[in-house]
Chains A and B, each alone.
Chain A
Amino acid sequence: MGWLDRERTIAPPGFNRWLVPPAALAVHLCIGQAYATSVYKTALVKHFGASLTEIGVIFSIAIVMLGLSAAIMGTWVDKNGPRKAMFTSAVFWASGFLVGSLGIFSGQLWLVYLGYGFIGGIGLGIGYISPVSTLIKWFPDRPGLATGMAIMGFGGGALIASPVSTALLKMYDPNSGAKGWVASGDSVGKLFLTLAVVYLAYMMFGAFTIKVPAEGWKPAGFDPAKVKAATLVTTDNVSAKNAVKTRQFWLVWIALFCNVTAGIGILEQAAPMIQDFFRQSDGVSLVSAAVAAGFVGLLSIGNMSGRFAWSATSDVTGRKRIYMMYLGVGAVLYTVLALAGSTSTFLYVALAFVIISFYGGGFATVPAYLRDLFGTFQVGAIHGRLLTAWSAAGIAGPLIVNAFLDAQGKPGQLTAASYQPALLTMVGLLVIGFVANLLVKPVDARFHEPRPDRVRSEEPAMEA
């Protein structure tokens, strides 16, 4: 397997760096399917005779494994390079679908947990972080733009997988024309087999297109000293082992956790929430199910576009400032949503759209933020460890919202006022995140890796 080694992927002179973003996108668009599981959720409930919660566990295992594998395998990814990491991710992701389909065909739910959840989840984690450090090295002049393009793919993957999966289920199920149709287990199994083949091919395209820059390469006209003078950027490096010992790592962890928890609060409840916000006194909502589905689609667009637009903007504003916007402006928008969101559907939709764009932006900007603080040396591994904040938020967000809503009443009876405690709790979280981000300062020089060209005692103080 030496042909997958980092040494074999060093770009020759004249290699066009704009080939790297589509390679990264190919992987992220595939693993982004994880957000399109709702397409076959009901079919699996019926097929296995299981509860929604039991089927929901498949997705939960996958997300937990994403965080764990990103944290554990981050150093391995940095050491072995993006090609081997993408190849490994593709094998795990496709194998997850294959084992999952075996579970569906044989009626064994535990095999779906093992396949899609456990094995596929490992593919998710490795795939998510695999192109990040390479992109940052190819685009030292625009790291936010580069990581934004790739991580946008994770948001965009569901936009593709959702309609394609629906079309395939209809094609595979002879009863698809029936009234009140729910896809058969057999058709979901065939869908899994198809996705395994297609995703394997796509991710292999990414793996064999990506290349790492040669040592010392930099884009024409790029002056690192200029970047350092403009923002909170170091030219030193911190190892992943040392990074987790710094206050900065945990402050950014808190900022990301708060931003993601607040975003998930809306995303998880998007469709019922807009209907509840505009429920009249007779119990009927002004917002139909079709309109609510359109709202969910709009949030997906906001999530995806925010990843690209805000992360690219952070190259101009600086990472700390844009996180202040995500968390500070986000807290204000959340407050307006909680207190005045029910006055107008336009206001409600506009607020939710911007809030979700901040949620996506937080994900896409954080690799560049880590690059600024810890250098490029092991930024992939550090990013992997930071993604545990995502796993934690994935548990905390729904727990907070559901706990408050359960106390307010039953689904179908809730109103805008029922959401206020949950939304105002999210405002509190965003304020905590804002303060954490405000406290981020340059990393102390004692955590820096030694540089051959410099004696440690002569190192200059870091700039803010």
Chain B
Amino acid sequence: MSTAQTTVNPTPVNPSTGKLVVAWALVGVPLGYGVYETLTRVAALFG
């Protein structure tokens, strides 16, 4: 029964969600790394 329901009302999946995650990760990860590296230098200011 539940299978039938799934077939009749499939959960809508936005095809761009995966692309969105990959695209933001491609720019977000390096940027996060850069900010982290800079903050470790900034620590000297308050150390």
Residues of A within 8 A of B (CB): 14-16, 18-19, 22-23, 25-26, 29, 153, 156, 158-163, 202, 205, 209, 290-291, 293-298, 300-301, 304, 349
State how many angstroms separate the Cβ of B36 from the closest Cβ of chain A.
Answer: 9
**Can you list 20 A-B pairs with a CB-CB distance of less than 8 A?**
A14-B16, A18-B20, A26-B27, A153-B31, A159-B31, A159-B34, A160-B33, A160-B34, A163-B34, A163-B37, A291-B44, A291-B45, A294-B41, A294-B45, A295-B45, A296-B41, A297-B42, A298-B45, A300-B38, A301-B35
Q: Assess whether A22 is in contact with B26, with CB atoms less than 8 Å apart.
A: yes
Q: Assess whether A22 is in contact with B33, with CB atoms less than 8 Å apart.
A: no
Q: Nearest CB to that of A157 among chain B residues?
A: B34
Cα-based distance from A285 to B32 in the complex (angstroms): 33
The residues in B between 1 and 47 inclusive whose CB is less than 8 angstroms from any CB of A are: 14, 16, 19-20, 23-24, 26-28, 30-31, 33-35, 37-39, 41-46
Q: Assess whether A159 is in contact with B44, with CB atoms less than 8 Å apart.
A: no
Q: When A and B form their complex, which 4 residue pairs have the shortest distance between CB atoms, in order from nearest?
A: A159-B34, A160-B34, A294-B45, A294-B44
Q: Nearest CB to that of A287 among chain B residues?
A: B45
- Could you say which residues of chain A place their CB within 8 Å of the CB of B30? 29, 160
CB < 8 Å neighbour of A301 from B26, B28, B33, B42: B42
Q: Nearest CB to that of A158 among chain B residues?
A: B34
State how many angstroms separate the Cβ of B32 from the closest Cβ of chain A.
Answer: 9
Cα-based distance from A209 to B23 in the complex (angstroms): 9
A19-B23, A153-B27 are known; give 6 further A-B pairs, CB within 8 A. Answer: A16-B14, A159-B37, A160-B33, A290-B44, A296-B41, A297-B42
Given A294-B42, A297-B41, A301-B42, also A156-B35 (CB < 8 A): yes
Cα-based distance from A29 to B19 in the complex (angstroms): 19
Cα-based distance from A26 to B26 in the complex (angstroms): 8
- Could you say which residues of chain A place their CB within 8 Å of the CB of B46? 294
Given A25-B27, A205-B26, A301-B42, also A16-B20 (CB < 8 A): yes
- Could you say which residues of chain A place their CB within 8 Å of the CB of B38? 159, 162, 297, 300-301
Q: Assess whether A159 is in contact with B16, with CB atoms less than 8 Å apart.
A: no
- Could you say which residues of chain A place their CB within 8 Å of the CB of B44? 290-291, 293-294
